[in-house]
Amino acid sequence: MRETLAPLVLFAAVMSLTPGPNVVMVTASAANFGFRRVIPHMLGITLGFAIMVVTVGLGLLGFVHAAPHLHALIKYAGVVYLLYLAWRIARADAHGAAPLARPIGFIEAALFQWINPKGWVFALGALATYTTVGGDLMRETSIIAVVLATACLGSVAIWAGFGMVIGRFLGNPRIRRAFNRTMAALLALSLVPVVW
């Protein structure tokens, strides 16, 4: 796991910082209600996502033990899908977040992770790509969950802290496209050590 920790951290940072449902909602909420009122939302996202990663990872444990040769298939399918996601991020159009009536609460944010498609891609991609056949899947899943949750919390705090400013800058379609292309390139680069 040591050799994949740096790529995992880069992967987590890129996936967390790129626009998705969580960051759009946190940015809009912070812009409307302020940073302090969005803290329960940020903590709900982080804890809900960490629980999802661990649950999915431990479910993967039985699968890997039952069919270890399929781990490589899952890993490379995850790499292909994440490259597809990078391509979609690079081609994303500019769009703003709709204003919220009230801040999203802790429980709502935690439960949202189970229906957040980007969260599923994030969790499955990391688990399939950064776990090893014959490795201690419990330990690897725990490390992945901690790294992903830490990156998630850092990301939503950044987006909430700069909600109005970032929203204004990324409202410009050219700037949003440049940001998305940079994040897509970093996402693709984070996969290089996994493939080689």
Asked if residue 7 is part of any domain, the answer here is no
At 76, give phi and psi (nearest 5°).
Answer: -75, -30
Would residue 34 be called left, alpha or beta, if left means φ above 0 and alpha means ψ between -120 and 50 degrees? left
**Can you tell me the mean pLDDT for 93-116?**
72
Asked if residue 133 is part of any domain, the answer here is yes
Asked if residue 12 is part of any domain, the answer here is no
Confidence at residue 53, expressed as pLDDT on a 0 to 100 scale = 92
Structural domain including 41 reads 25-195
If one counts the domains in the chain, the total is 1
Asked if residue 110 is part of any domain, the answer here is yes
Asked if residue 15 is part of any domain, the answer here is no
Per DSSP, the three-state class of 1 is coil
Confidence at residue 99, expressed as pLDDT on a 0 to 100 scale = 43
Residue 150's Cβ-side half-sphere holds a number of Cα atoms within 13 Å equal to 10
Confidence at residue 84, expressed as pLDDT on a 0 to 100 scale = 78
Asked if residue 1 is part of any domain, the answer here is no
Asked if residue 68 is part of any domain, the answer here is yes
